[in-house]
Amino acid sequence: MLNIINKRESVIIVLHEMYGINQHLKLICEQYSAAGYKVICPNFVKPGDYFDYCREEEAYQYYIEHIGFQAMVDEVMYIR
């Protein structure tokens, strides 16, 4: 999970694409943080791993077999 915490009370929960937390998503989270928001981005792909955009089919298969939309919703419901 990527947590960027600062002193504001507002929190943005960012859900990554099927590719995982890649450099693009990290940049987006950092931009929200720089704007003053707390940012939480749960990692649903293997820890420390992500799929390059050229691996779309593999990323999709992994998402369908190991993650799924409901698992992402369930995870977000229990973030504290």
Q: What does the domain layout of the chain look like in residue ranges? A: 2-77
Write the DSSP symbol of residue 53. G
C-alpha distances (whole Å) from 54 to each of 25, 28, 50, 63, 64 are: 16, 20, 12, 15, 18
Type of residue at 49: D
Q: What is the pLDDT of residues 16-54, one digit of tens each?
A: 999 999 999 999 999 999 998 889 998 888 777 888 999
End-to-end CA distance of the chain: 13
* Structure tokens, 1: 């999970």
Strand pairing report for 11-13 and 2-4: unpaired
Cβ of 63: how many Cβ atoms within 10 Å?
A: 20
Residues 54-60, mean pLDDT to the nearest whole number: 93
The pTM of this model reads: 0.74
- pLDDT value at residue 47: 72
